[in-house]
Amino acid sequence: MSIDQLKFWMRALSAAAVASSVLALSACGEDTAGGEQGTDVEDVQEDGGEGADVGSTVTVSSEVTEVLSSQSFRLEGADDWENDPLLVVSAEQANVSEGDVVEVTGTVEDFDYTTYSEDYELGDEGVYEDFDDQRFIVADQVSPVASPSPDE
């Protein structure tokens, strides 16, 4: 094999490796609902193991499934996640709508309506019954996530 043929095959092999890497990376994360990125909703809700610890700061990107008040909303997890949606409360008005994909950065806590209702203007206690003693996020920041362009 000549030097020119060897160079040709090396370039072809390199190009194939790059192309397969790009394809593999572009497939990552496609199995979660709402473009979930960063820490998973499931990781916040899990107790122990790989779950996020109470008091830790996390960033979660996912779809808003329900707006509960001007300062609280629910996020959904992966399509195959069987657990309840994740509660997010924010000191500031959240300005989100159902179906929005948002990025939330905040602290993981255990929810207790009495502890958080006044500071976060939660409203009717019945709306939050399902979240009692569940992990949730006290948001420091809530930002919309840009929707991918149709070409992606």
Q: Which amino acid is at 63?
A: E
CATH code at 112? 2.40.50.200
CB-based contacts of 40: which residues, under 8 Å, 6+ apart? Answer: 32, 60, 77, 78
Q: Report the relative pairing of strands 57-69 and 72-75 from DSSP bridges.
A: antiparallel
Task: Please give the model's pTM, rounded to 2 decimal places.
Answer: 0.69
Residues 18 and 41 both lie in one domain: no
Q: Is the dihedral of CA 151, 19, 34, 101 positive or negative?
A: negative
d(CA 29, CA 38): 10
Domain containing residue 19: 1-30
For the chain (length 152 residues), average pLDDT per consecutive 10?
A: 68 56 39 53 73 89 92 81 81 90 94 92 92 93 75 52
- Judgement on whether residues 20 and 43 belong to the same structural domain of the protein: no
Same domain, 2 and 38: no
pLDDT for 16 equals 53
Residues 73 and 10 in one domain: no
| Distance, CA of 29 to CA of 35 (rounded, Å) | 7
Per-residue confidence (pLDDT) for residue 13, from 0 to 100? 60
One domain, residues 41 and 79 = yes
In-domain check, residue 149 = no
Gap between the Cα atoms of 84 and 49, Å rounded: 19
Tell me if 99 is assigned to some domain: yes
Q: What is the C-alpha to C-alpha distance for residues 102 and 144, in angstroms, rounded to an integer?
A: 4
